[in-house]
Amino acid sequence: MSATDQRPVLVVDFGAQYAQLIARRVREANVYSEIVPHTITAAEVAARNPAGIVLSGGPSSVYEPGSPSLDPGILQLGVPVMGICYGFQVMAQQLGGEVAKTGRREYGATTLSVHGDGGALLAGQPETQTTWMSHGDSVVKAPEGFTVLASTDDTPVAAFESDERRLYGVQWHPEVKHSEFGQRVLENFLHHAAGIAPDWNSGSVIAEQVERIRAQVGDARVICGLSGGVDSAVAAALVHAAVGDQLVCVFVDHGLLRADERRQVEEDYVAATGIRLVTVDARAQFLDALTGVTDPETKRKIIGREFIRTFENAAEALVLEAQGAGEAVKYLVQGTLYPDVVESGGGTGTANIKSHHNVGGLPDDLEFELVEPLRTLFKDEVRAIGRELGLPEPIVARQPFPGPGLGIRIIGEVTQERLDLLREADAIVRAELTAAGLDTQIWQCPVVLLADVRSVGVQGDGRTYGHPIVLRPVSSEDAMTADWTRLPYDVLARISNRITNEVDGVNRVVLDVTSKPPGTIEWE
């Protein structure tokens, strides 16, 4: 079942920090979901013909003037609706229940008591379970005709339902892992209460996108800027599966890559896909442009500018080549993901993302139409599709890596000597994390060179004055917030010993234990 064939579950966003997470959890239940703003009208919802609706949480109080509201007609459409936290309270208020500030707030892990058989939402679950609450207001009276399904010590109406009207709600957050049976609650709503079959998967996405790409592209030529990252690699593989040799990928080696990345793209990726790849060696060009530059933002702008120039020159050469063969290059593949669309104001699925938003600053007047086969997908779904397409695991499982590469992981001027030093240290860190089986337990581990800092050390019975290397292992789901990863001490010790023994010019390894916020994931 494809995204376009399956009626979507609409996640109505009331300003929740977890709206995207709710949409992901729905998809983990093999049901297609889309995020829409709370300002959507009943007529707009009806036009989308959803299979179900989930109302998200939010930071407001339903009785405050100007708080986010819901078109009351949405609850009269006969579409199954589930409210979560603030969405639960909006439902209760609009349907004649009562919401109040009781002075008995609940934040964090909270014990829940299930009443009777739990109804449709809580069927088959333990009478007592741990849920994750985050609310100051409470539903103190359920709407007429609704059955109260659960309560806590401080919240007498923690869940309710009207199975006849197909309306349901919970006060806690089932989408977060801290809620013990949270995914089961969502699946009960989706599969049982709403009757939605769990038939949306990566295989159906591939079939759908191949069909759509062929319809869009026809017999025209297509180009793709391949970075070696997951998004562009999977997007290119999908397009190649659809139009074959009509696609040409351009890989710009700016000299700021990590060890072995160019070989992975040129050999492993090409061997797995059969894609025609044009590599542009621009290492000297980028290094010259960065000479003497230390300001982080200036570095980013220079790297972005030089990348655009290099890509455009390569694209122009390919256009001339195609014209000589009587063909046209009309399309540019872009690895836009669904979070890019949502965060750019496109939660309704109608926003037009500018070309410069997701391709490192490509100009608005770029003379290509965009092909965006991943724009309805989250990162984990993209990885699953990449594996199904047979892409090499080092590319599919690659952790996030900034477009400016090692250029922004050197604190100070970027030089060839410093790049070589950082590349060697980074390779050691990645090798040790892989050997310890920790790759899937962290979001990423930036390795930073403090090039403008020196520290005194003792190596070989002599005094040294070398650079410190910073390890920045972080855990995150979406990179909006992050915490530092508690790596085992023995792994940290091996990394430190290897770097200080094997990398000339480094005599100290330090660990960054700052969360985000207040710190960012990258140092620059």
Question: pLDDT (tens digit, 9 = 90+) per residue, 144-159?
Answer: 999 999 999 888 999 9
Cα–Cα distance, 523 to 520 (Å, whole number): 7
Span 445-473, average pLDDT: 84
Secondary structure of residue 381 in the 3-state scheme: helix
| Active-site residue flag, 175 | yes
459, containing H or E segment: strand 455-459
Cα–Cα distance, 168 to 162 (Å, whole number): 6
Short-list 92, 87, 247, CA closest to 173:
87
Secondary structure of residue 462 in the 3-state scheme: strand
Cα–Cα distance, 390 to 272 (Å, whole number): 7
Q: How confident is the model at residue 351 (pLDDT cuts 50, 70, 90)?
A: very low
Distances (CA, A) of 43 to 105, 204, 418: 36, 29, 59
Cα–Cα distance, 298 to 404 (Å, whole number): 11
| Active-site residue flag, 254 | no
Quick one: pLDDT at residue 363? 55
| Active-site residue flag, 85 | yes
User: Is a pLDDT exceeding 50 seen at residue 68?
Assistant: yes
Bond from prior residue into 468 cis (ω within 30 degrees of 0): no
Question: pLDDT (tens digit, 9 = 90+) per residue, 224-251?
Answer: 988 888 999 999 999 999 999 999 999 9
Q: How confident is the model at residue 15 (pLDDT cuts 50, 70, 90)?
A: confident
| Residue 247 · residue 214 · CB < 8 Å | no
Residue tagged active-site, from 85, 224, 249, 445: 85
- Residue at token pair 């930071």: 59
Quick one: pLDDT at residue 5? 57
Residue tagged active-site, from 38, 135, 173, 467: 173
Quick one: pLDDT at residue 153? 86
Q: What is the mean pLDDT of the chain?
A: 87
291, containing H or E segment: none
User: Is a pLDDT exceeding 90 seen at residue 314?
Assistant: no
Higher local confidence (pLDDT), 174 or 402: 174
Cα–Cα distance, 239 to 59 (Å, whole number): 41
Question: pLDDT (tens digit, 9 = 90+) per residue, 356-411?
Answer: 334 344 556 667 888 999 988 888 889 999 999 999 988 898 888 888 899 999 99
Angle at 77 between CA 34 and CA 173, to 5 degrees: 50
Residue tagged active-site, from 34, 106, 161, 175: 175
Least confident window among 52-56, 134-138, 356-360: 356-360
Secondary structure of residue 228 in the 3-state scheme: coil
Distances (CA, A) of 19 to 8, 38, 56, 100: 15, 11, 6, 24
Cα–Cα distance, 82 to 490 (Å, whole number): 47
Tokens, residue 275: 């894609």
Neighbouring C-beta atoms of residue 151, cutoff 10 Å: 16
Cα–Cα distance, 249 to 279 (Å, whole number): 8
Secondary structure of residue 424 in the 3-state scheme: helix
* Alpha-carbon 383 to chain mean position: 11
Cα–Cα distance, 344 to 446 (Å, whole number): 26
Q: How confident is the model at residue 343 (pLDDT cuts 50, 70, 90)?
A: low
Q: What is the DSSP letter of 354?
A: -
Quick one: pLDDT at residue 129? 92
